[in-house]
């Protein structure tokens, strides 16, 4: 139970970058409304930044480079918008152990050290809220934690990284280059401080771990998530997808799986996929995110909105801040971690997916039969084959039925070794309906 606050709720803000500046701006702009919603005013007692001299717009008495002292001051709530593991981890553990409520947007920290943070929150009864950490402005974590607590979630699948979606959308629509689009995403405040976290899929993997933990009442950490980013997605992949009326998207897929041998487990992965252009996720462009949730009783739900950027992310941070402030005024506490199901995480090699494979092959009799024989040898069944002759070369596109990822990889390796196969042009997993 949080300690009951009688005067204003005192807030320490750690970080004044893309998100922090918007949080501070909106706190000031809507102070009167927020006070009415909470039942008392929210007072910003200090802002920790790396370089206080770089913020002449902020009253000097509010700024400090000493985040630890600010956390240890007389504050009720710590809002962490620094990012990264340290010093954020130590600062939040100190705050929670001291009974201070925490609001954070730091998915990397939660996905790696969530268990420790929840334990610290439990030790003092403090609140730990993190709606902004996944899918920016979209209310998604509270629906999973609270609204769907009475249902059994079977699948969560979606676009959860704005930067990579911004890049893939631009490559698809205007044929824009990879690096210039990444620079633009960073300029617009979508990318992480180190944008390799976005393009290599680490950011989406952290978010997938958080989503799976909430959806399946199981502790899933970043290391449990199979991860591929978009660095390897080429113009050829995008072109191959177009010829099949598909788009390329980076998806996070969290599934509850069960079989007689292993019982129930969870499978969590992040990788690029080809989706049919008519699939609703295909029309999610730019830095927008969209997430499908499938649950036994509710059926299919879809959440859509701005997944990155200062002001959309600040909306989620402020929603959490108002919730924890209300809890403090009432002397109550919000939801705690729910990890009772403790399901095992299934290794990715056992996960079944479907592959799209595009090959340049010799245009002569018998090539198709040779390629098909390799698929058969690995017990990978073919759903669609398209062959087009091009003088000496032909292009061959194969889309498989579901097979284990290990079998699919071995098939591609062996197909590439055939003399008649000149080049493997594109290999990508496919989702969303039969080709």
Ligand X SMILES: N[C@@H](CC=O)C(=O)O
Ligand Y SMILES: NC(=O)C1=CN([C@@H]2O[C@H](COP(=O)(O)OP(=O)(O)OC[C@H]3O[C@@H](n4cnc5c(N)ncnc54)[C@H](O)[C@@H]3O)[C@@H](O)[C@H]2O)C=CC1
Contacts to ligand Y from residues 340-399, by CB under 6 A: none
Residue partners of 397: CB distance under 8 A and separation at least 6:
240, 243, 244, 356, 357, 358, 359, 384, 385, 386, 387
DSSP state of 419: T
| Residue 196, marked binder | no
Q: Find which of Na ion, ligand Y, ligand X, none residue 48 binds, CB within 5 to 8 Å per kind.
A: ligand Y
Q: Determine, following the binding rule CB under 6 A, whether residue 358 of this chain makes contact with ligand X.
A: no
Q: Determine, following the binding rule CB under 6 A, whether residue 82 of this chain makes contact with ligand Y.
A: yes
Whichever of 161 and 395 has its CB closer to ligand X, that residue is 161
How deeply is 301 buried, as exposed, middle or buried, from its count of CB atoms within 10 A (0-12, 13-18, 19+)? middle
Please identify, among the stretches 46-54, 110-118, 342-350, 353-361, the one whose residues bind ligand Y according to the rule CB under 6 A.
46-54
Give 337's Cβ-side CA count (13 Å radius).
25
Rounded CA separation 271/249 (Å): 8
Please identify, among the stretches 1-9, 16-24, 161-169, 308-316, the one whose residues bind Na ion according to the rule CB under 5 A.
308-316
Please identify, among the stretches 85-93, 107-115, 216-224, 316-324, the one whose residues bind Na ion according to the rule CB under 5 A.
316-324
Nearest by Cα to 308 from 190, 387, 186: 190
DSSP 214-279: HHHTS---GGGSEE--STT--HHHHHHHHHTTEEEEEEEEEEEEEETTTEEEEEEEEEEEEEETTS
Question: Is there a contact between 370 and 362 (Cβ–Cβ < 8 Å)?
Answer: no
Q: Determine, following the binding rule CB under 6 A, whether residue 46 of this chain makes contact with ligand X.
A: no
Q: Determine, following the binding rule CB under 5 A, whether residue 38 of this chain makes contact with Na ion.
A: no
Q: List 388's β-bridge partners, or say none.
A: 395
Distances (CA, A) of 48 to 45, 116, 224, 322, 325: 10, 23, 33, 20, 20
Contacts to ligand X from residues 123-142, by CB under 6 A: 136
Q: Find which of Na ion, ligand Y, ligand X, none residue 305 binds, CB within 5 to 8 Å per kind.
A: none
Whichever of 2 and 221 has its CB closer to ligand Y, that residue is 221
Q: Which listed residue (308, 317, 321, 380) binds ligand X by CB under 6 A? A: 308
Take residue 381 and report the two structure tokens written for it. Answer: 């069944």
Nearest by Cα to 268 from 161, 128, 164, 158: 158
Residue partners of 173: CB distance under 8 A and separation at least 6:
285
- Smallest distance, ligand Y to C-beta of residue 137, A: 9
242 is catalytic: no
- Smallest distance, ligand X to C-beta of residue 76, A: 26
| Residue 14, marked binder | yes
Count of C-beta atoms within a 10 Å radius of residue 385: 13
Whichever of 132 and 267 has its CB closer to ligand Y, that residue is 132
Chain CA centroid to CA 350, Å: 22
Whichever of 136 and 158 has its CB closer to ligand Y, that residue is 136
- Smallest distance, ligand Y to C-beta of residue 188, A: 9
Helix (H) or strand (E) segment spanning residue 318: helix 310-330
Show the site string, 94-113: x = touches ligand Y by CB under 6 A, - = not.
Answer: -----------xxx------
Rounded CA separation 365/369 (Å): 9
Q: Find which of ligand Y, ligand X, Na ion, none residue 49 binds, CB within 5 to 8 Å per kind.
A: ligand Y
Q: Determine, following the binding rule CB under 5 A, whether residue 131 of this chain makes contact with Na ion.
A: yes
Please identify, among the stretches 48-56, 123-131, 151-159, 210-218, the one whose residues bind Na ion according to the rule CB under 5 A.
123-131
Q: Determine, following the binding rule CB under 6 A, whether residue 307 of this chain makes contact with ligand X.
A: yes
| Residue 260, marked binder | no
- Smallest distance, Na ion to C-beta of residue 133, A: 7
DSSP 330-364: HT--------TT-PPBPPGGG-EEEEEEEEEEE-S
Chain CA centroid to CA 147, Å: 20
- Smallest distance, ligand Y to C-beta of residue 27, A: 15
- Smallest distance, ligand X to C-beta of residue 148, A: 22
Whichever of 169 and 358 has its CB closer to ligand X, that residue is 169
The residue assigned the tokens 């509850």 is 256
Q: Contact residues for ligand X (CB under 6 A)? A: 136, 161-163, 190-192, 198, 203, 307-308
Q: Contact residues for Na ion (CB under 5 A)? A: 131, 135, 138, 140, 316
Q: Contact residues for ligand Y (CB under 6 A)? A: 14-20, 48-50, 67, 81-83, 87, 105-107, 132, 136, 189-190, 192-193, 308-309, 313
List residues forming the annotated binding site for L-homoserine: 192
Active-site amino acid positions: 207
List residues forming the annotated binding site: 14-21, 107, 192
């Amino acid at each position: 139970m949080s300690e009951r606050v009688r005067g204003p709720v005192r807030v320490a803000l750690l970080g004044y970058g893309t998100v922090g500046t918007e949080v501070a701006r909106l706190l000031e702009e809507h102070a009167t409304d927020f006070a009415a919603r909470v039942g008392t005013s929210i007072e910003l007692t200090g802002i920790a930044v790396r370089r206080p001299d770089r913020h002449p717009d902020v009253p000097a008495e509010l700024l400090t480079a000493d985040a630890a002292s600010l956390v240890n001051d007389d504050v009720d709530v710590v809002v962490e918008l620094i990012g990264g593991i340290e010093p954020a981890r130590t600062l939040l553990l100190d705050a929670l152990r001291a009974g201070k409520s925490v609001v954070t947007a730091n998915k990397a920290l939660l996905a790696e050290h969530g268990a420790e943070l929840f334990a610290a929150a439990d030790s003092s009864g403090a609140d730990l809220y993190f709606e902004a950490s996944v899918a920016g402005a979209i209310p998604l974590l509270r629906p999973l934690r609270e609204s769907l607590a009475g249902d059994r979630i079977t699948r969560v699948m979606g676009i959860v990284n704005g930067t990579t979606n911004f890049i893939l959308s631009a490559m698809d629509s205007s044929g824009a280059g990879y690096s210039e689009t990444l620079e633009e995403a960073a300029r617009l405040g979508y990318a992480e401080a180190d944008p390799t976290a976005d393009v290599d899929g680490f950011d989406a993997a952290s978010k997938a771990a958080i989503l799976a933990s909430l959806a399946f009442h199981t502790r899933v950490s970043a290391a449990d998530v199979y991860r591929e980013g978009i660095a390897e997605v080429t113009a050829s992949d995008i072109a191959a997808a177009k010829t099949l009326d598909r788009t390329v998207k980076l998806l996070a897929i969290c599934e509850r799986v069960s079989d007689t041998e292993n019982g129930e487990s969870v499978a969590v992965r992040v990788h690029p996929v080809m989706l049919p252009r008519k699939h609703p996720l295909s029309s999610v462009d730019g830095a927008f995110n969209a997430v499908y949730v499938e649950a036994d009783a509710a059926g299919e739900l879809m959440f859509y909105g701005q997944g990155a950027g200062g002001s959309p992310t600040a909306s989620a941070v402020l929603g959490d801040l108002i919730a924890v402030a209300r809890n403090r005024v009432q002397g109550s506490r919000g939801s705690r971690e729910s990890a009772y199901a403790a399901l095992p995480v299934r290794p990715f090699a056992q996960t079944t997916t479907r592959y799209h494979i595009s090959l340049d092959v010799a245009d002569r009799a018998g090539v198709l039969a040779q390629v098909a024989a390799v698929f058969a040898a690995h017990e990978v069944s073919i759903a669609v084959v398209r062959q087009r002759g091009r003088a000496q070369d032909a292009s061959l596109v194969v889309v498989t039925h579901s097979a284990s990822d290990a079998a699919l990889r071995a098939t591609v390796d062996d197909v590439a070794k055939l003399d008649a196969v000149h080049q493997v042009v594109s290999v990508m997993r496919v989702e969303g309906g039969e080709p």
